[in-house]
Structure 1
Amino acid sequence: MPKKPLQKARENRSTDKKDLTFHPYHITPETAHTAVLLLESEEDEILCQTLRAITKFSAQDTRNREILFHLDAIKYILPHIQHKALNVQRFALKALAQLCQLPTAPEVVLADAENVRTVAALLGKMEDVYVLEFASLILAEVTREPLGCDQLVATNVISTLFNRMKSSADPDVQKNCLQTISNLLDDPASASEVTMNPHCTWPPILALMKNKYVAIQHAAIKTVGQLLGRFKDEHIQKSFKASTGISDFCDILETYDFRDIHSLILDVIRDYVETEDNAAHAHRAGALQRLLAYLEIAPVELKPRALAALAKMTLTESGRKALFETGADLVFCHLLLGSDVELLADAALAAGNMARLAEAAVRMCDAGVVEALASILADERAAWFDVRINALKALGELTRATPRAATALVAPKTFSAVVNVNKKYKETPVEAQRLAVQCYINLLDYHETMRALLTPHFIHELLNIVQRIDIKLKILACSALSVLMSEDPGRQLFTSKGGEKVVSENLKVEHLGLRTALCNLILASVTAAGADVYHGIGTLHYMVTNRQARYAVSAWEAALESIFKHNPSAKFAYTGRLDVTDFTHDGFYVQKRISDRFLPLKHIVRDARRPFKDPVFVINFGNSKHASEPSHERSSSDSKVDSNLRNYLDNLLSWFGEPESSCKGSKSMQYTEVDESEYEVRYREKCHEVSTTLKSRAEQLAQFVVEQMCGLTEERDCSMPSVDLHLADLMLDLNTSVLPLGHVRCGGPLERALLYKALADRVAVPCALCRGGGGAWCEVAVPESDPDEDEIIPGPALRGYPAGLLRVNYIVDLERGRLVRAGGADAQRVCGVTCSQRYVAGKTPDECYCDALFYV
């Protein structure tokens, strides 16, 4: 068959050498500049043929368009887009549309706003199909830029876009108009102009989703998604609910011919059901049941998208209720038990969210969801993100929601999966470790499961977690330990596993949240033995001297007080005061002189060397509950009963006419402390009362102490040199610097105040022990009758007062054996000047600044 002439010419051009000769209307990269120059011709035929050749050249390759763009072809094409010759106008619009597809080309067009107005006018007034196609394509390209959106909105062409989109017979015009509307919706400043336009209605856009052209379907679905994503636009949301939109989505999913756009529809549904109202509307419209049915028959590649749409509904309360009514929670459980790995992450997330609904949580537990999640978590082949992480989240939500899930999780087989997360912490992400500890906290909300976790191994594991690097993980572990400390066995296990040392190490980390959690743990866990440990390892001293932490951490002071409560010796040393609610117990000791740190008693005994310099006074009545407790404070040298001190107490009890059994124990008082903030009239019958005879007892006790220490007469020398000599003799006689208080028969202000406080705690006299710049003294809280009050029955001397309202009102003068009213001149002589507390443990100031006058 002979070859055609044109075919021969093409073959000859391909075999010959490169022809650099300009051929009219056939453009090559080398002759493109000449073609651009021809656009300045005034002959319509030349313009038409040149523009036609340029469109062919542009269509061949993107590089050809770049060549034309760099030759400023747009500048030469723009004058011809409204040429009087239709063909010239068509090819000019087509060439401009092709060049506008380059990334930076729209900027050149948008440099003059008149260009957009011209193209928009052509779209509105022209009916030529080619002009409409290319004009709409240009608008679709230039509105990719925010400036293009602004210029297009200013032309008032939005109504035209909707009309062309709805009624144009050309599918390209419809697609381009849809794309332009989509671009406007992407721009925050222009989107409201689109939604407020009266031509913006749902039926035309929804109809285009079922168009026979896939490109139009994609554009329509994208536009629908953008409109539905405007959740705060009440008009859009309300009008969509009134339309058939949600039913149209389901119709498309049930139509096999539209399978190519099923994934896009599922994504739109997933985003739509994000809010409470939309989730409820989807359920009312029947979309939820149809979506569950589609999940069963969907192709394998689309099942994850369908499940994602259902999982998104679990984020809202109305969505969870709707899913529960349709049994979707059981579907999630079934998927967790299945073998489809692609569905496990979303199924676990959905199950965890459904657990926020109590009824669903119970039903899922009956279906074995806890065991299924635990098996997923234990599967080392599964990915941590997001399969195993979501499984942990679901377990956390389930254990928080229902005790049935907690009971199922603490079973040995299932609980090992959670424990291994932190046991193999080097192989697990820190997010998983945090979620596992949160599961522990949820399990501790129930008494039964907390009992199951109250084991030495579990507490040891939590203490190991506290020692890791992650701060948030440390805080969570502290929270779990704090809950366990509500039980006595938990506090004992905490001390046996070295919990105090772990707390002490972490307190040095300067993190406000961690320090608060650790202080709360101290509040929950501290015992007498634990307080001794904190004292022995230096934690107590660190907490007292760290002034910055005491100011910044709100729970720091409370934690310090909780330790002081179990260690009154340290409290008196560091604060210089034991209040009426603080009681001395056997083993309580006071140093005559304190340096920069208050040491445990066993350290003092161990380091004592002859000649002994400073004595330490110890109280041991032998009847305190502390006498049987192991303590770091006591040693073999001070654990014996102080017989002299015991005799003092026996004499006082017989003197006051009370049987010994009534005052055993340091807290066996005749008065009960009632917090003032909680005191009301209805508590009067519940609290014990004290009478004004208590003042007489306090005075008699003062006379007794003075008599035992030195006597009221001047027969014995009780000056400070005599006291120091007496104490030195005692230390030599006993061969120790630790002196039982009962052996001291010649004492100064400190020795007398200490003896008064020790005896007052055991004969029901509310007494405070103080130490300051002027020495040491005691303060008492005793009721007294009003001298102006008329005599009634019972008389004022026997009138009862609520013990909880007692406040310090007298100072004990232990030189003369009397009570003096607080605040008076006599009281100031007893207490000395108000001065820096040089007898309090801690760094003392170099200079002393007194606030009161000296009295002679």
Structure 2
Amino acid sequence: MGKKVKEEKKAPPDDVFDAILVESRQAGTVVLMLSSPEEDVQSKACEAIYKFVEKCDENKKMLLDLGAGEALLKLMQSEDRIVRRNACMAIGVMTAHSDVRKFIRKNEEAIPTMITLLAPEEDTVVHEFSALSLSYLATEFSSKAVIIENNGIEPLVKCLNSHDPDVQKNSIEALAQLLLDYQARGVIRDADGLAPMLELLKSEFAIIQKLSLLALDRASQDAENRAALRELEAMSRLIDFVAHPEWNDLHVMAVMVLSNLLEDPESLEVIKETGGLKRLVALITDQVPPDEEPKSGGGAKGEKKAGSRAAKKSAKGGKKEESEKEEPPPGEAIIPTLPDVKMCAAKAIARSAKNAENRKILHEQEAEKMLIHLLSHESTDVQTAAAMAIGIMAENLLSKDSVREWEGIQPLIKLCSSDNGDVKEAATLALANLTTSNSGNCQEVSNYGGIEALIHLLADPRDEALANAACILTNVATEEVIRSEAQGKGVVTALLGPLKTKNSNTNVQAKVSLAVAAFVCDADSRSEFRNASGVEHLVELLHSGNDEVRRNASWALAVCAVDEPTATEICKLGGMDTLQEIQVSGTRRNPFAEVALQRLLDSNLSAKYALTGHLSSTNLIENGFYDAGQIRPNTKFLPIEDYCGLPLNDKRAILFVNAKADPVTQVSNSQTDVDTKQDTSKTSVSGKSSRTGRDSKANDNYRGKRRMSAIPDVAENGGGERSSSAARSARGKSKSQKEKEEKQREEELQAQLQREAENISQTENQPVQPPTDSNLLKYVEEVTERIMPLPSVKEQVTALAQYVADKMGGPIEKGQLTHFSWELPISQVKFELKCNVVPIGKIKAGIHIHRALLFKALADRIAVCCTLTRGEYNRAWNEVMLPDTDDTPGAPKFPPKAYIVDLIHEPGKLMKSDSPEAVQYRKL
């Protein structure tokens, strides 16, 4: 074999530059290399920049300042595949910096170039980093709009089908950011992007599954997207996902997507037909569905994927966790669901139940059972979500009964005593809805001791819990037995707390006012409420700027005003004036205030007559009524004690009805009784006469007359007797004993004088008492004896009119009314009484206003129905309703007709209300 001859290398051409290796440690030098015409140099420079900017954010900003951004964007359009790839990698990493994104937004060709690089013919690495750049840019609204305008969603959707997980991750992340814009939700549906997103749920990478669920959550907020997802059987896939225990860290997001889907009744129908809802309920409650065996969590594929993920976690962190081992075989208990998943599931039920049709379907699927089961969970967040869902489900009438049948009331009552404020608020809201118009649930609340817990909550610092407790108490108050129980446990006093604390929360004020109206409905509770100054706070709430607060406060006052003492208290506190202002106002007026004012006036007829000038036949005048005249606008209506305390004046007399015997008459009657007893018992003459003398002189002292003369009489009567007896017994006594007895008598006299002075002082300090009317008392007795037995109402009216006219000066001829003297006699009565208040029985000469008032007062005593109406110029009249008097058999019967009773000219004459003579009677 011959010797090999060494081949000689050819020398390079003379016109070719020899290749050199360049080492650079300056970023600026590498940036300059980006402008080289050689593609190999551009490629290596891009690769060097990629490695440099991947280290930290400061490097990204440095290269941007050196002008690398513009050069890289140009190289992304290079014809050389390697240059495009390396430039795309560099710019993709640099886009994480906000200044770089700002620079790219200013370049109109940057985003369209990145979208172009998502074409199928490009390398996978180009797809990866182009999608990465778009995911960063999609975080800002302006860039998001540019991506959508340049049809960037469709290429991203196609990248979801890539076999490279990095491409999938960056693409789904970009889509998730874009779906925050409602326009993108319709575009992604048109691009058939929903199906690839569902497929990514099977990915073996948790980050891809998470981003896919995030994108689905945002896409499913659109109704048309939800319809498309139903066609893709998304709900079954999501439930299968939740059933996979290896993916429990993503179950919350899966349930959130289900929550969006369950918002539509169509979705609930689908999940109901497929049995998916029962599966979901069983998974959330950690139970096995009764119609199927326990599943391993996702089938063979699920096991493979779970094993793959577990293997990767094991490679990174060593041993596998217990939950990452083999799934339980059929027949064993399934792995408990995480609390966050339970909470989200309860919220999903609550969100879906806001629709009436959905509530019906959820009730048919026994969703209440799951929620009641979650009430006993140890997590307060789960308890809160479950209670809130029950509260929404309770808007369905059948659900209210179901919660009671499945014993859901008791755990809710227990949660009312929770230390967590959110739990208490949610539990009370659920009970408030459950007890609304449901007597069975109200009884359950009482049976489980809920009344005490609710009363305790009225002092809770959390406003919403307090308001809900007041609402529950209002609901249970519809049951008389429960209402009495709550009143016995001090609910009225407890309700005063929120009113007295000046709580500014209008919801609390409104609910507590309504609760007051529910419980202050009998005399004892009204008295308790009034004595505790509760009326004062209700009157203050009438000034609230909130419509609901004013309405509820008005209703509470309407309930309180049914008895006279409370009505009087409301008037003293200015409640009547405020209600009148509300009724005059065009914006604050409400029907509840009108009812309150009417009831207040019906309980205080004096105020009603003064304000309206009319009393109906059902308004019965009793002792204490007074006619103060027509009240002018902006004039306060005063109680009778204030009118009695005013100094004597020349104004119109206050007409007073008080059919009681005078104190002088009562004393004289008692004196007569004592004299009679003295005649029958001679042994007690001196003792009883001395006591009678003291009583008569005490009455003189009470009236302020002969005050100083009473004391000597007492001294004379008491001291004289004692001195005479002492003289007889002292004949054989020494001088010292006489002096001692004399001194003792003087001390007794001084003590007696001091007691008399104290009695006089107490009498002077007592409030002014309105005058009594013994004459009116006699009128009532005579009318009851003579007129009441008459056989017909017409005869009674006629006789009573004649009686009243006789007592008030007799008939007055027409045209002679101006000559009838009535002012002077009334002024004399005022002067005698030293008071502007004149009892109606003491008036012996009266005209329309006096006779009409006396007729009404006497008619009410003998059950003759009539009205009292005030006119102008001292006119007043009574109207009665009388039936047809034709008793002939077969004669037609007509409704009763209204008649005006003549008390002036022809007493007893009845005039039809619409007749000319009746009109003339009512006018001057």
Same fold (TM over 0.5): yes
CA displacement, residues 732-791 of structure 1 (integer Å, 9 cap, x when unaligned): 555655433233111234223323433455677765433354122215356799xxxxx9
Taking only aligned residues, the RMSD between alpha carbons, in angstroms, comes to: 4.0
Q: Which residue of 2 aligns with 1:286?
A: 275
1:408 aligned to 2:440? no
1:557 aligned to 2:551? no
Q: Which residue of 2 aligns with 1:478?
A: 513
User: CA shift at 1:127, angstroms?
Assistant: 3.2
Q: Which residue of 1 aligns with 2:385?
A: 346
1:586 aligned to 2:676? no
1:814 aligned to 2:904? yes
User: CA shift at 1:112, angstroms?
Assistant: 4.3
Which secondary structure state, in structure 2, belongs to the residue aligned with residue 801 of structure 1? coil
User: CA shift at 1:811, angstroms?
Assistant: 7.8
Q: Which residue of 2 aligns with 1:312?
A: 348
Aligned amino acid, residue 345 of structure 1: T
- Which of residues 516, 541, 548 is equivalent to 1:513? 548
User: CA shift at 1:170, angstroms?
Assistant: 2.4
Aligned amino acid, residue 802 of structure 1: P
Which secondary structure state, in structure 2, belongs to the residue aligned with residue 453 of structure 1? helix
Kindly report which structure 2 residues correspond to 1:292-371, keeping only aligned pairs within 5 A, or say none.
292-295=281-284, 296=286, 302-315=338-351, 316=353, 329-337=368-376, 339-341=378-380, 343-356=382-395, 361-362=400-401, 364-365=403-404, 368-371=407-410
User: CA shift at 1:434, angstroms?
Assistant: 0.8
- Which of residues 847, 857, 878 is equivalent to 1:758? 857
Q: Which residue of 1 aligns with 2:498?
A: 465
Q: 1:270–1:310: 8 Å Cα contact kept in structure 2?
A: no
User: CA shift at 1:573, angstroms?
Assistant: 1.5
Distance 1:71 1:721 in 2: 116
Distance 2:467 2:340 in 1: 27
User: CA shift at 1:704, angstroms?
Assistant: 4.7
Q: Quick one: percent identity of the two aligned structures?
A: 22
Q: Which residue of 2 aligns with 1:529?
A: 565
Q: Which residue of 1 aligns with 2:164?
A: 170
Distance 1:727 1:410 in 2: 63
User: CA shift at 1:658, angstroms?
Assistant: 0.8
Q: 1:25–1:50: 8 Å Cα contact kept in structure 2?
A: no
Q: 2:220–2:261: 8 Å Cα contact kept in structure 1?
A: yes
Q: Which residue of 1 aligns with 2:894?
A: 801
Q: 2:520–2:559: 8 Å Cα contact kept in structure 1?
A: yes
Aligned amino acid, residue 165 of structure 2: P
User: Comparing 280-289 with 775-784, which one deviates more in the overlay?
Assistant: 775-784
Aligned amino acid, residue 56 of structure 2: D
Q: 1:777–1:830: 8 Å Cα contact kept in structure 2?
A: no
User: CA shift at 1:440, angstroms?
Assistant: 0.7
Provide closer, same or farther for how the CA distance between residues 173 and 383 of structure 1 changes in structure 2, counting only shifts above 3 A: same
Provide closer, same or farther for how the CA distance between residues 443 and 652 of structure 1 changes in structure 2, counting only shifts above 3 A: same
User: CA shift at 1:560, angstroms?
Assistant: 1.5
Distance 1:549 1:359 in 2: 43
Provide closer, same or farther for how the CA distance between residues 126 and 369 of structure 1 changes in structure 2, counting only shifts above 3 A: same
Provide closer, same or farther for how the CA distance between residues 276 and 466 of structure 1 changes in structure 2, counting only shifts above 3 A: farther
Distance 1:405 1:828 in 2: 60
1:273 aligned to 2:273? no
Q: Which residue of 1 aligns with 2:779?
A: 645
1:747 aligned to 2:836? no
Aligned amino acid, residue 877 of structure 2: C
Provide closer, same or farther for how the CA distance between residues 823 and 636 of structure 1 changes in structure 2, counting only shifts above 3 A: closer
Q: Which residue of 2 aligns with 1:616?
A: 654
Q: 2:451–2:486: 8 Å Cα contact kept in structure 1?
A: no
User: Comparing 824-833 with 368-377, which one deviates more in the overlay?
Assistant: 824-833
Q: 1:706–1:815: 8 Å Cα contact kept in structure 2?
A: no
User: CA shift at 1:829, angstroms?
Assistant: 6.4
Q: 1:407–1:449: 8 Å Cα contact kept in structure 2?
A: yes
User: CA shift at 1:283, angstroms?
Assistant: 3.5
User: CA shift at 1:200, angstroms?
Assistant: 3.3
CA displacement, residues 203-245 of structure 1 (integer Å, 9 cap, x when unaligned): x332221122333222322222222222x21xx3333223343
Aligned amino acid, residue 212 of structure 1: E
Which secondary structure state, in structure 1, belongs to the residue aligned with residue 541 of structure 2? helix
Structure 2 residue runs without a partner (length 5+): 1-20, 287-332, 662-766
Q: 1:324–1:360: 8 Å Cα contact kept in structure 2?
A: yes
Distance 1:444 1:600 in 2: 35
- Which of residues 190, 193, 214 is equivalent to 1:196? 190
CA displacement, residues 438-471 of structure 1 (integer Å, 9 cap, x when unaligned): 1112212334322322337212222333333233
Structure 1 residue runs without a partner (length 5+): 1-22, 624-632, 663-669, 671-693, 786-790, 834-856
CA displacement, residues 73-120 of structure 1 (integer Å, 9 cap, x when unaligned): 222221111212222221211122122222243343333443333332
User: Comparing 206-215 with 760-769, which one deviates more in the overlay?
Assistant: 760-769
Distance 2:168 2:154 in 1: 14
1:399 aligned to 2:435? yes
* Greater Rg over alpha carbons, structure: 2
Which secondary structure state, in structure 2, belongs to the residue aligned with residue 209 of structure 1? helix
Distance 2:778 2:817 in 1: 20
Which secondary structure state, in structure 2, belongs to the residue aligned with residue 571 of structure 1? helix
User: CA shift at 1:437, angstroms?
Assistant: 0.8
Q: 1:620–1:639: 8 Å Cα contact kept in structure 2?
A: yes
Distance 1:448 1:701 in 2: 47
Provide closer, same or farther for how the CA distance between residues 251 and 550 of structure 1 changes in structure 2, counting only shifts above 3 A: closer
Aligned amino acid, residue 199 of structure 2: A
1:574 aligned to 2:708? no
Q: Which residue of 1 aligns with 2:829?
A: 730
Which secondary structure state, in structure 1, belongs to the residue aligned with residue 458 of structure 2? helix
Distance 1:164 1:583 in 2: 90
Q: Which residue of 1 aligns with 2:219?
A: 227
Distance 2:186 2:146 in 1: 15
Provide closer, same or farther for how the CA distance between residues 25 and 157 of structure 1 changes in structure 2, counting only shifts above 3 A: farther
Kindly report which structure 2 residues correspond to 1:689-838, keeping only aligned pairs within 5 A, or say none.
694=794, 704-712=803-811, 722-733=821-832, 737-761=836-860, 767-780=866-879, 794=888, 800-803=893-896, 806=897, 810=900, 812=902, 814-815=904-905, 817=907, 831=922
CA displacement, residues 576-602 of structure 1 (integer Å, 9 cap, x when unaligned): 333455443333222379784432223
Q: 1:813–1:820: 8 Å Cα contact kept in structure 2?
A: no
Distance 1:519 1:720 in 2: 49
Distance 2:44 2:629 in 1: 114
Q: Which residue of 2 aligns with 1:11?
A: none
CA displacement, residues 138-158 of structure 1 (integer Å, 9 cap, x when unaligned): 333333334434433444454
Aligned amino acid, residue 414 of structure 2: S
Distance 1:730 1:238 in 2: 91
1:207 aligned to 2:199? yes
Distance 1:544 1:140 in 2: 66
Provide closer, same or farther for how the CA distance between residues 173 and 486 of structure 1 changes in structure 2, counting only shifts above 3 A: same
Provide closer, same or farther for how the CA distance between residues 732 and 84 of structure 1 changes in structure 2, counting only shifts above 3 A: closer
Aligned amino acid, residue 435 of structure 1: N
Distance 1:228 1:713 in 2: 91
Q: Which residue of 1 aligns with 2:41?
A: 46
1:106 aligned to 2:199? no
More contact order relative to length (CA 8 Å, sep ≥ 6): 1
Distance 1:704 1:97 in 2: 111
User: CA shift at 1:476, angstroms?
Assistant: 0.9
CA displacement, residues 314-366 of structure 1 (integer Å, 9 cap, x when unaligned): 44266666666666544544443454555332333344445455565555445
Q: How many residues align?
A: 742
Aligned amino acid, residue 373 of structure 1: L
Distance 1:190 1:342 in 2: 34
TM-score, normalised by the number of residues in structure 2: 0.71
Distance 1:718 1:395 in 2: 70
- Which of residues 50, 53, 57 is equivalent to 2:52? 57
Distance 1:107 1:593 in 2: 80
Kindly report which structure 2 residues correspond to 1:626-645, keeping only aligned pairs within 5 A, or say none.
637-638=771-772, 642-645=776-779
